[in-house]
Amino acid sequence: MVLVAGVALTSFNRRKDGSNFRDWAESAVAAALADAKMEPGDIDALVVASESDFFTLQLNPASVIAGDLGLVGAATMRVEGGGASGQLAVHAAVHQILAGTAQRVAVVGVEATASPLSVNAVTKLYGYSFDAWSDGMTGSTATALYALSATAYMARSGATSEDFAQVAVQNRQNARHNPNAHLPLDTTVDDVLASPVVSSPYRRLDCSPLSDGAAAVILAAGGAVPRRRSGAARICGIGAASDHANLGTRIDVDRFSAKTKAMQRACAMAGLTAADVDIAEIYDAYSGAQLQGLEALGLSSDVLAEHRAGAFAPDGRLPINLSGGLLGQGAPVGAVGVAQVATCALQLEGRYHPDAQCGSAPRHALADTHGGVATTAAVTLLSAGEA
């Protein structure tokens, strides 16, 4: 059994206060340790999730973060899998605990995506996170590649730009109840459809922002949590899978097949099915990707009909991205997956931000991420702990 003993997030936004990624990581881990009722000396291992050294010019970031946190001597590693980095780091920690090589592991995801480089520079760098030769050097952008997949999805499913826009509107509405969120906006479908085209069908408000920030979780074996820290949620299933990096090599460019496999693996480990999931944090780098993700994860037999009927709204059958998701909460890439797991744990314990807390006492939560256009998929299933 792996418990989520403590969690913490910094704000996600564009930092203008002179702080840097080491400050954010230190802050997040210190708060997560306090939440877990632990001290740095209790930690056996540190896993750092960070997508790119281009943002910070710090290779081997785990080494310096360990020093900052007073964890010199602990086992350290950095995990990277594009947008899936955060959850892959959580998975690495789970493996360490289940293997018995560590009892308590600190996981911190951190990224300085917004402040160090220009938007144009980051856009160009992200092109190299697909196939650097055939996509990146051709000048393809993340938005363009997602857009090509989304266009195929629209043609197959009948989804419209209005459907996509409604995702962006809902998630940013959800973010209004999250004090850490980057874009807590009160927008309308018309606002989204009137925003400038980035790469059709995606417009600016269909896209998640570039954000700075960090998130941390302290994972622990069942018997390694302080007695005074009761009721912790537990990680009951993890799953990861991959797909061809080149969209054109895939059988269906509009389907997130790696996500389907990752979900099957996590469900098999947990002994659960998609129908058991009560709430989910879905990787909504772009508005349409949320609908493609819901389909791939098997969370609905008719995603579009349920989306249009409000099933994924906070008061719906299956609340999605109560945090605001990437569209609303923000997207410091390495931190995203860790933040999702933290959010799910807090929701299951009933101690999320009060106005964004799911009211129906969820028992099971799903955190879903991917890198590339769902090339590297990683999902985590969590269950409510014992009170």
Partner 1 sequence: MDYRLVLDYRLSAGRLTPWIEGLRIGKARAHCCGECGRVSFPPERRCSCGSIQTKWMTLPGSATILQRSDGPENSFALARFEGADTLTSVRLHNPEIQSDRGRLLAVPEGPPAQVLALVKPEADAK
Query: CA dihedral in degrees (340, 207, 162, 274; nearest 10)?
Result: -20
The encoded tokens of residue 245 equal 């990096």
| Residue 96 or 260 with smaller CB distance to partner 1 | 260
| Residue 137 or 275 with smaller CB distance to partner 1 | 137
Work out whether 162 is an interface residue with partner 1 (CB under 8 A).
no
Work out whether 148 is an interface residue with partner 1 (CB under 8 A).
yes
Work out whether 158 is an interface residue with partner 1 (CB under 8 A).
no
Work out whether 209 is an interface residue with partner 1 (CB under 8 A).
no
What count of other Cβ atoms lies within 10 Å of the Cβ of residue 355? 12
Amino acid at 92: A
Alpha helices in 181-286 (DSSP H): 189-194, 257-270
Burial class (CB in 10 A: 0-12, 13-18, 19+), 137: exposed
The least CB distance from residue 251 to partner 1, in Å, is 9
The least CB distance from residue 130 to partner 1, in Å, is 8
The encoded tokens of residue 69 equal 């946190």
Which residues are CB-neighbours of 99 under 8 A, at least 6 positions away? Answer: none
The least CB distance from residue 163 to partner 1, in Å, is 17
From the list 246, 264, 298, 317, which residue makes contact with partner 1 (rule: CB under 8 A)? 246
Identify whether the C-beta of residue 48 lies closer than 8 Å to the C-beta of residue 89.
Answer: yes
The encoded tokens of residue 234 equal 């537990």
β-sheet bridge partners, residue 364: 383
Residue 231 and residue 246: Cα distance in Å, rounded? 44
| Residue 151 or 173 with smaller CB distance to partner 1 | 151
Q: Which of residues 34-73 bind partner 1 (CB under 8 A)?
A: 57
Residues binding partner 1: what is the number (CB under 8 A)?
30
Residue 302 and residue 177: Cα distance in Å, rounded? 28
Residue 299 and residue 293: Cα distance in Å, rounded? 9
For 366, phi then psi, to 5°, come to -120, 130
Work out whether 247 is an interface residue with partner 1 (CB under 8 A).
yes
Which segment (160-168, 247-255, 296-304, 307-315) binds partner 1 by CB under 8 A?
247-255
| Residue 92 or 205 with smaller CB distance to partner 1 | 205
Identify whether the C-beta of residue 34 lies closer than 8 Å to the C-beta of residue 6.
Answer: yes
Residue 96 and residue 304: Cα distance in Å, rounded? 39
From the list 137, 268, 305, 361, which residue makes contact with partner 1 (rule: CB under 8 A)? 137
From the list 138, 188, 230, 360, which residue makes contact with partner 1 (rule: CB under 8 A)? 138
Which segment (130-138, 220-228, 256-264, 378-386) binds partner 1 by CB under 8 A?
130-138
Site string for partner 1, 293-312 (x = CB under 8 A): --------------------
What count of other Cβ atoms lies within 10 Å of the Cβ of residue 316? 14
Work out whether 268 is an interface residue with partner 1 (CB under 8 A).
no
Work out whether 133 is an interface residue with partner 1 (CB under 8 A).
yes
Site string for partner 1, 1-40 (x = CB under 8 A): ----------------------------------------
The least CB distance from residue 61 to partner 1, in Å, is 17
Amino acid at 183: L
| Residue 85 or 143 with smaller CB distance to partner 1 | 143
Residue 140 and residue 246: Cα distance in Å, rounded? 12
The least CB distance from residue 140 to partner 1, in Å, is 5
Cα(first)–Cα(last) distance of the chain, in Å? 16
Residue 72 and residue 89: Cα distance in Å, rounded? 19
The least CB distance from residue 243 to partner 1, in Å, is 12
Question: Closest Cα partner for 211 from 178, 167, 251?
Answer: 178
From the list 28, 43, 90, 198, which residue makes contact with partner 1 (rule: CB under 8 A)? 198
The least CB distance from residue 24 to partner 1, in Å, is 17
Residue 326 and residue 164: Cα distance in Å, rounded? 14
| Residue 138 or 301 with smaller CB distance to partner 1 | 138
Work out whether 135 is an interface residue with partner 1 (CB under 8 A).
yes
- Positions in the binding site for partner 1 (CB under 8 A): 57, 131, 133-135, 137-141, 143-145, 147-148, 151-152, 155, 196-202, 246-249, 253
